[in-house]
Structure 1
Amino acid sequence: MKTSKQLQDRRKNRVRTQLRRKSIGRPRLSVFRSGKHIYAQVIDDTQGVTVAAASSIDGSLREKLKNGADKAAAAEVGKLVAERAVAAGIKEVVFDRGAYLFHGRVKALADAAREGGLTF
């Protein structure tokens, strides 16, 4: 019997494999959510470099947010990462949800990133 960590890794690898086929040189917007915070980063896999990153721990967001692990925090992180990516000259990305389902905080972050100027 496989552990939940092994199953989660399988889901994450399956999503990333599909993204590599479809990305065609576009950077990847990767999301990680923990119980207390949410993190997002735009990664250029061809060079292996993080182009832009944001999280609910950032000083500019920390004072605004009541809680780092709710939809409002995810939306603020999405806006901030989109703003930083556009400033770095990136407008098109592929969305890497990892092993998470596309709902709740992950969906709120994605919607806010789209509103911030990223297309995926």
Structure 2
Amino acid sequence: MSTGPADPLAGFDTTVHAPNRLRICALLDAAEEAEFGLVQRQLNLSASALSKHVTVLTDAGYVEQRKAVRDTRQRVWLRLTREGRAAYHGHLAALRAIVGEQGPTL
């Protein structure tokens, strides 16, 4: 399979593709930023599982973390970076190319 610029699968991103990371990117794409606890509850993940996936996305440059004190507790806010948003949208385009724009018909 060619990965040249004309290849519709060129945007397939193995970092984003893992199911929980894809869900994290989808949630963060819909919001400017989200508090770690909210993401954890929305995706029904343990704090350690979410932290592990966020670390992978952060190391790839796809997610940024901002720490702030709120209600005397330190909170962590997550947001997609410009690169993360581009990777997520590129990955969605590659998935659409795999299944076709309309998706499978039953």
TM category, shorter: under 0.3
Greater Rg, structure 1 or structure 2? 2
TM-score (normalizing by structure 1):
0.24
- Per chain length, whose mean CA-contact separation is higher, i.e. which structure has more relative contact order (CA < 8 Å, sep 6+)? 2
Q: Could you tell me the TM-score, scaled by structure 2's length?
A: 0.26
